[in-house]
């Protein structure tokens, strides 16, 4: 791998050493930056960075094969999308039209649409088709600056189809230049044939699917959609205890439509993240305080299916760490554009651009277990960087929404 020098950077964002594993409260207000900066990359890792005035003495000592003149543009660490369902067989724009005509996301699911609709499409799709179709989206999110992505299964809902999805994710891991983490989400919805016997499906997940997932090392994490009409807190608990037994950690969907006590249980069982959190009671915030479980907020999902936004300001005020992710999926969020997510975080959740960037980099890295590798521009971390267009400020990214402000990605 070549050594790369990026010079004449107008401002280098999120750079420094000895960051905490994640930021919370007031710590999220600032993004460290160096004006008129350089970055030196060696073998894909950050070797050095600093002010241009300190650069020359070091340049001739180092073997530089490629120089990129940033020409007054900005450099940031890549965006990290810690919650997606990017592998699917078909978009579901017909349900979008149903919602325009008055049905709710939950109404559509009750009619057999939603996740079950995606599962039906996926069952008849080949691994090769799924890989190629999903790679289109991987290449798309890369253009918008995403350098690491978590991908869930959950449109299989049978041992064969779940394993098929996880194999596709594994292949994406091998073939793409993004850092990929795989999450097994067998408990995404109740298949029709188990409608009157959900316990039996939970047992199938625990006894049949989870052992294969663990044995073949097909997932880094396990997820459960804990929600009314989906999986109860008790059922989630059962799955998470089994998850712990096979040595995996969990990241769970909770509190999207109702507060059932899933957050408390997930914190107790040491989930790495609890995701959605649009509907929250005081006890839910309380459970998250002083835990190592990070919240994942998904504003593009709220935007698209017209549900309340998670109360990001309250998380800040209560010193509860959170990250932002896209939730890219064909039902509730058909985009993986993290610049749009940033814009919604600012306009709808009233976060500052700095708070939003912290949530999409350092905190998002933590929520994927990548805090030692990505999330900041620090010596020894992976050099997956974004070079912006000629834009006037960091705030311009969420301000001028609906456009791509990335000129190039470097290192991925």
Residues 177-206 that bind ligand NIG (CB under 6 A): none
Residue 262 makes contact with ligand NIG by CB under 6 A: no
Residue 278 makes contact with Fe ion by CB under 5 A: no
* Residue 301 partner contact from ligand NIG, Fe ion, none using kind-dependent CB cut-offs of 5 to 8 Å: ligand NIG
Taking the complex as a whole, the smallest distance from the CB of residue 329 to ligand NIG amounts, in Å, to 4
Segment contacting ligand NIG by CB under 6 A, of 111-119, 127-135, 283-291, 366-374: 111-119
Taking the complex as a whole, the smallest distance from the CB of residue 49 to ligand NIG amounts, in Å, to 36
Exactly one of 153, 250, 293, 332 binds ligand NIG (CB under 6 A); that residue is: 332
Give the closest residue to 122 by CA, choosing from 83, 154, 167: 154
Residues 6 or more apart whose Cβ sits within 8 Å of residue 40? 3, 4, 5, 6, 46, 47, 48, 49, 58, 62, 64
The whole-angstrom separation of Cα 351 and Cα 319 is: 14
The 3-class SS string of the chain reads: CCCEEEEEEEEEECECCCCCCCCCHHHHHCCCEEEEEEEEEECCEEEEEEEHHHCHHHHCCCCCCEEEECCCCEEEECEEEEEECCCCCCCCHHHHHHHHCCCCHHHHHHCCCCHHHHHHHHHCCCHHHHHHHHHHHHHHHHHCCEEEEEEECCCCCCHHHHHHHHHHHHHHHHHCCCEEEEEEEEECCCCHHHCCCHHHHHHHHHHHHHHHHHHCCCCCEEEEEECCCCECHHHHHHHHHHHHHCCCEEEEEECCCCCCCHHHHHHHCCCCEEEECCCCCHHHHHHHCCCCCEEEECHHHHHHHCCCCCCHHHHHHCCCCEEECCCCECCCECCCCHHHHHHHHHHCCCCCHHHHHHHHCHHHHHCCCCCCCCCCECCCCECCEEEECCCCCCCHHHHCCCCCCEEEEECC
CB burial of 83-100 (b: ≥16 within 10 Å; e: otherwise) equals: bbbbbbbeebeebbebbe
Residue 224 makes contact with ligand NIG by CB under 6 A: no
Task: Give me 144's structure tokens.
Answer: 């918008």
Segment contacting ligand NIG by CB under 6 A, of 192-200, 311-319, 322-330, 392-400: 322-330
CA distances 301 to 76, 209, 246, 306, Å, are 25, 28, 31, 8
Taking the complex as a whole, the smallest distance from the CB of residue 161 to Fe ion amounts, in Å, to 18
Residue 118 makes contact with ligand NIG by CB under 6 A: yes
- Closest CB to Fe ion among residues 81, 327: 327
Residues 278-317 that bind ligand NIG (CB under 6 A): 301
Taking the complex as a whole, the smallest distance from the CB of residue 80 to ligand NIG amounts, in Å, to 17
Residue 115 makes contact with ligand NIG by CB under 6 A: yes
Residues 299-338 that bind Fe ion (CB under 5 A): 327
Segment contacting ligand NIG by CB under 6 A, of 32-40, 168-176, 328-336, 362-370: 328-336
The whole-angstrom separation of Cα 268 and Cα 287 is: 9
Residue 227 makes contact with Fe ion by CB under 5 A: no
Taking the complex as a whole, the smallest distance from the CB of residue 298 to ligand NIG amounts, in Å, to 7
Residue 259 makes contact with ligand NIG by CB under 6 A: no
Residue 171 makes contact with ligand NIG by CB under 6 A: no
Exactly one of 73, 253, 381, 384 binds ligand NIG (CB under 6 A); that residue is: 253
Taking the complex as a whole, the smallest distance from the CB of residue 284 to Fe ion amounts, in Å, to 18
Exactly one of 225, 303, 315, 366 binds ligand NIG (CB under 6 A); that residue is: 225
- For ligand NIG, how many residues bind (rule: CB under 6 A)? 13
* Residue 77 partner contact from ligand NIG, Fe ion, none using kind-dependent CB cut-offs of 5 to 8 Å: none
Segment contacting ligand NIG by CB under 6 A, of 72-80, 142-150, 161-169, 327-335: 327-335
- Closest CB to ligand NIG among residues 262, 330: 330
- Closest CB to Fe ion among residues 162, 327: 327
Taking the complex as a whole, the smallest distance from the CB of residue 275 to ligand NIG amounts, in Å, to 7
Taking the complex as a whole, the smallest distance from the CB of residue 295 to ligand NIG amounts, in Å, to 14
* Residue 332 partner contact from ligand NIG, Fe ion, none using kind-dependent CB cut-offs of 5 to 8 Å: ligand NIG
Residues 56-85 that bind ligand NIG (CB under 6 A): 85
Applying CB under 6 A, the residues found at the interface with ligand NIG are: 85, 114-115, 118, 225, 253, 256, 301, 327, 329-332
């Amino acid at each position: 791998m070549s050594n790369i020098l990026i010079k004449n950077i107008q401002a280098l964002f999120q750079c420094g050493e000895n960051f905490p594993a994640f930021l919370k409260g007031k710590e999220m207000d600032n993004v460290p930056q160096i004006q008129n900066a350089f970055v030196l990359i060696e073998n894909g890792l950050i070797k050095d960075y600093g002010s241009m005035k300190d650069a020359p003495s070091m340049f001739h000592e180092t073997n530089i094969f490629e120089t990129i003149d940033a020409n007054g543009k900005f450099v940031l660490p890549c965006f990290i999308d810690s919650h997606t369902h990017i592998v699917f067989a078909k978009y579901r724009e017909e349900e979008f039209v149903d919602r325009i005509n008055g049905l709710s996301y939950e109404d559509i699911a009750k009619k057999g649409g939603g996740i079950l609709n995606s599962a039906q499409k996926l069952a008849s799709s080949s691994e090769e088709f799924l890989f190629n179709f999903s790679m289109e989206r991987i290449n798309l999110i890369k253009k918008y600056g995403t350098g690491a992505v978590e991908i869930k299964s959950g449109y299989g809902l049978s041992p064969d189809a779940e394993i098929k999805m996880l194999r596709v994710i594994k292949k994406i891991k091998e073939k793409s230049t993004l850092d990929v983490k795989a999450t097994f989400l067998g408990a995404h919805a109740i298949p029709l044939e188990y409608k009157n016997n959900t316990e039996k499906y939970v047992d199938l997940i625990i006894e049949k699917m989870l052992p294969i997932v663990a044995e073949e090392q097909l997932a880094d994490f396990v997820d459960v959609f804990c929600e009314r009409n989906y999986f109860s807190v008790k059922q989630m608990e059962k799955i998470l205890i089994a998850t712990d037994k096979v040595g995996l950690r969990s990241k769970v969907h909770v509190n999207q439509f109702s507060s059932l006590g899933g957050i408390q249980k997930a914190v107790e069982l040491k989930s790495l993240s609890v995701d959605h959190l649009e509907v929250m009671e005081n006890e839910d915030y309380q459970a998250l305080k002083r835990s190592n479980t990070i919240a994942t907020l998904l504003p593009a999902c709220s935007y698209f299916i017209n549900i309340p936004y998670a109360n990001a300001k309250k998380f800040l005020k209560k010193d509860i760490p959170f990250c932002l992710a896209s939730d890219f999926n064909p039902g509730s969020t058909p985009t993986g554009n993290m610049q749009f997510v940033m814009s919604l975080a600012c306009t709808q959740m009233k976060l500052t651009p700095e708070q939003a960037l912290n949530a999409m980099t350092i905190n998002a890295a933590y929520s994927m277990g990548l805090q030692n590798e990505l999330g900041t521009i620090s010596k020894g971390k992976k050099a997956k960087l974004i070079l912006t267009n000629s834009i006037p400020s960091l705030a311009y990214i969420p301000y001028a929404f609906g456009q791509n402000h990335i000129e190039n990605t470097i290192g991925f």
